[in-house]
Amino acid sequence: MKRKIIQLMVTVVLATFLLTLGSTVMAQEPSADNMQIVLEKIKADKKLLVAENMQLTEKEAKAFWPVYESYQNELFLLRTRTLKLIDTYGDAYGKMTNKTAKKILDEYMTIETLRLELRKAYLPKFRKVLPDVKVARYYQIENKINAVVDFELAKRIPLIKTEQK
């Protein structure tokens, strides 16, 4: 199980790195087909990790996976929005204005708010198909994966440069 978690995290880190390359390396950016393959691999690895750690009965699994897929599809839209924001940041890095910084910060806060609202909206849906202990476990798994992704992004995205006085 630990090996599977490490394998997923390596895949997530690789994908995060590829996705954060952004416009600064357009000539070397992976093709859309390659990126799609990486994204599908991440989805499959993540689903496998969730499956291995949820300990679902057959009945629970039958009810859980459609809700999971729906949630992941909506979450993907937020991740796409986040990647666009990172790209915007990359384009502005080194020449950041107050106007651009405000726009980026406002979009970041909007994304974070939407992510929380999505998690809250899906809580009753997961509770309809699983006991609360397993819902809590699922949210823990999601939190751990998100923590790793956020950590990797934080390592790769430099702080905004400020003017020295």
105-114, long-range: CB within 8 Å, 24+ apart, which pairs?
107/81, 111/78, 111/81, 111/82, 111/85, 114/78
On whether residue 41 sits in a domain, the answer given is yes
| Between 165 and 120, residue with greater pLDDT | 120
Mean pLDDT, the chain, integer: 84
CA distance 131 to 138: 11
On whether residue 163 sits in a domain, the answer given is no
50-106 pLDDT, tens digit per residue, is: 999 999 999 999 999 999 999 999 999 998 899 899 999 999 998 999 999 999 999
CA distance 121 to 128: 12
On whether residue 162 sits in a domain, the answer given is no
Split at pLDDT 50, 70, 90, the class of 20 is very low
The domain total for the chain is 1
On whether residue 51 sits in a domain, the answer given is yes
- Segments forming the whole domain that contains residue 98: 2-156
CA dihedral 73, 74, 75, 76 (to 10 degrees): 50
On whether residue 165 sits in a domain, the answer given is no
The arithmetic mean of pLDDT across residues 37-45, rounded, is 80
The arithmetic mean of pLDDT across residues 34-44, rounded, is 77
On whether residue 59 sits in a domain, the answer given is yes
CA distance 40 to 52: 18
Burial degree of 139 (CB within 10 A; 0-12, 13-18, 19+): middle
On whether residue 133 sits in a domain, the answer given is yes
On whether residue 121 sits in a domain, the answer given is yes
CA atoms within 13 A on the CB side of 134: 20
Res. 16: pLDDT tops 70? no
Residue type, 138: Y
Per-residue burial over 67-84, b if 16 or more Cβ lie within 10 Å, else e, is bbeebeeebeeeeebbee
